[in-house]
Amino acid sequence: MEHGARTQNEKLDIKTTTCYMCACRCGIRVHLRDGEVRYIDGNPNHPLNNQGVICAKGASGIMKQYSPARLTQPLMRKKDALRGEAQFEPVSWDVALDTLEKRLAHLRATDPKKFALFTGRDQMQALTGLFAKNFGTPNYAAHGGFCSANMAAGMIYTIGGSFWEFGGPDLDQAKLFFMIGTAEDHHSNPLKIAISKFKRVGGRFIAINPVRTGYAAIADEWVPIRPGTDGALFMALIHELVAADAWDHEFVARYTNAAELLDMNEASDTFGLFVRNGDAPEGNALFPQNHLWWDTKTNRAVAHHTDDAEPALDGRYTLEDGTPVAPSFALLREQVGGNVHGAMGRGDHRDSRRDDQASRRRNDPGEPRS
Ligand code: SF4
């Protein structure tokens, strides 16, 4: 929407920026009249996410500037008022800063750990953390510590990597979309746009969530699992897929870390971690860790994604320096108990290769069967 000048001298301006009303950071246009924000709309030219779409919360970002209810000066609890009574009175910045200075100086001189600092979803956490650390307290946190940082840490420790919601699912290519373990509406505009397009072209959407609000409300099927059981459901699904050999071996080997070798030496400090070849040159800035595959063609460890290599997904192997290793998929198979086609012991890598090749043939309708 465009707006016109009402008088000859009125100055209109449009600033493009990103919305900070939630984590999506949609592209927005802020319309100004004589330097005052008049309204906000979505930026259709934003290169990354919302394609001009804006939600009600984003459009109401104008209230951050002009709401009569926003805090404009320090408030202090009235003398003799109790906590929770919401009895405050405005004080000057000098009074507020003097009060803080006295209290903080006392805590710092006696026990700095009694000072706990929590900040919201701001972009100053490096600075507020630095302040708390220099003050002498370990007790500081911000929004991320209760939300996204845990998601990222959990995913890094469990599946080896993390993503942020802007790297959403590739719904343009999908026919079936499962949504599980998702904070209600957290993906917001970019995902709403993608789901509406996906459903319009006949895609099927299954939401797995204890509650049926937000996305689950428009899903074709809602699976109301018990809160906290997402992990068990995932393991059960993986078990079924592995047991029925109904998974895409080629894709899993190429595009996941399933074929990467883990250190299986229980006495080692790196037991259970991916084996790294620290001496190897960094072949790809996206994969700087120099992880290894076991190449079933040459029967030796090679850098992952080496041209022409055929990575093993099962079996146990031994590196030249004597380190026992296993592809991470082999351990996943053991965990979920789907050992119909694998879960072999130490040294049986030749069988494992044949198994992988046979499975690939089974999955490839174009290849002759023996
Ligand atoms: S989804 Fe809404 S609130 Fe969140 S960034 Fe986009 S416009 Fe702003």
Instruction: Kindly report, residue by residue over 328-354, the tens digit of the pLDDT.
Output: 999 999 988 855 444 333 333 333 333
Tell me whether strands 324-327 and 75-77 are parallel, antiparallel or unpaired: unpaired
> What percent of the chain is predicted at pLDDT more than 90?
52
Instruction: Check pocket membership of 53 for ligand 1, CB cut-off 6 A.
Output: no
Tell me whether strands 204-208 and 176-180 are parallel, antiparallel or unpaired: parallel
pLDDT of residue 124: 76
Ligand 1 centroid vs 61 CA: distance in angstroms?
9
Q: 22-26, 247-251, 343-347: lowest mean pLDDT where?
A: 343-347
| Contact criterion met (CB below 8 Å) for 274 and 256 | no
pLDDT of residue 279: 79
Instruction: Check pocket membership of 328 for ligand 1, CB cut-off 6 A.
Output: no
DSSP 82: P
pLDDT of residue 288: 62
| 288 vs 96, residue with greater confidence | 96
pLDDT of residue 340: 43
pLDDT of residue 151: 74
Tokens of 140: 């500081």
Ligand 1 centroid vs 179 CA: distance in angstroms?
20
The answer, yes or no, to whether residue 356 has pLDDT greater than 50, is no
pLDDT of residue 266: 96
pLDDT of residue 201: 96
pTM: 0.58
Instruction: Check pocket membership of 54 for ligand 1, CB cut-off 6 A.
Output: yes
- The pLDDT of 3-8, averaged and rounded, is 67
Instruction: Check pocket membership of 333 for ligand 1, CB cut-off 6 A.
Output: no
Ligand 1 mutation target, pool 41, 165, 184, 188, most atoms within 8 A of CB: 188
pLDDT single digits (tens) 185-234: 666 777 888 889 999 999 999 999 998 888 888 899 999 999 989 889 98
- Amino acid (one-letter) located at 43: N
The answer, yes or no, to whether residue 152 has pLDDT greater than 80, is no
- Amino acid (one-letter) located at 318: T
> What percent of the chain is predicted at pLDDT more than 70?
81
Q: 80-89, 143-152, 273-282, 344-353: lowest mean pLDDT where?
A: 344-353
Domains in the chain (CATH in brackets) are: 12-66 (3.30.200.210), 97-162 (no CATH), 176-228 (no CATH), 245-363 (no CATH)
| 351 vs 73, residue with greater confidence | 73
pLDDT of residue 4: 66
Ligand 1 mutation target, pool 18, 20, 24, most atoms within 8 A of CB: 24
pLDDT of residue 81: 95
* CA nearest neighbour of 352 among 332, 370, 322, 326: 326
Q: What is the mean pLDDT of the chain?
A: 83
pLDDT of residue 89: 96
Instruction: Check pocket membership of 24 for ligand 1, CB cut-off 6 A.
Output: yes
Distance from the Cα of residue 347 to its chain's centroid: 37
pLDDT of residue 267: 96
The number of beta carbons lying within 10 Å of the beta carbon of residue 253 is 23
pLDDT of residue 183: 67
The answer, yes or no, to whether residue 62 has pLDDT greater than 90, is yes
Ligand 1 centroid vs 26 CA: distance in angstroms?
5
Bridge partners, 178 (sequence order): 206
pLDDT of residue 284: 65
- Strand runs labelled E in the chain: 12-18, 27-33, 36-42, 75-77, 88-90, 117-119, 140-142, 176-180, 204-208, 221-223, 261-263, 292-295, 300-303, 317-318, 324-327
